[in-house]
Structure 1
Amino acid sequence: MNKKYFGPVFTVGILCFYMLLCSFTPAADTLKSSGFKLKKIIIDAGHGGKDAGAKGLSSLEKNVALAIARKLQAAIQAQIPDVATVMTRSDDTFIELRRRSDIANKSQGNLFISIHCNSSAEGTAYRARKQSGVMLLVYGLKRAGEQLEAMRENASILIEQDQQKYEALDATDPANAIILDAFTKKYRKQSIHFGEFLNQEFTETDGRPSIGVREQSLYVLANSAMPAVLIETGFINNPEEETYLNSEEGQQQIVQSIIRAIMAYRAALTIQ
Structure 2
Amino acid sequence: MNEQLKLHAEAQASQDLSRRDFVAISVAAGLAGGTATGAAAALPVTTDEVMIKTPEGSCDAAFIHPASGAHAAVVLWPDAFGLRPSMREMGKRLAAEGYAVLVPNPFYRVAKAPVFETAANANFKDPALWEKLKPLMGSVQAAGAAERDAAAFVAFLDAQPQVDKKKKIGTQGYCMGGALVLRTAAAVPGRVGAGASFHGGGLVTDKPDSPHLLAPKIQARVLLAIARNDDEKQPDAKDKLKSAFADGRFAAQVEVYPALHGWCVPDMPVEGGQAIYNQAEAERAWAALLSLYKTALA
- TM-score for both structures, normalised by structure 2: 0.34
Compare the two structures and name the one with the higher strand fraction. Answer: 2
Question: Which structure has the bigger radius of gyration?
Answer: 1
Compare the two structures and name the one with the higher helix fraction. Answer: 1
- TM-score for both structures, normalised by structure 1: 0.36
The answer to which structure, 1 or 2, has the higher relative contact order (CA under 8 A, 6+ apart) is 1
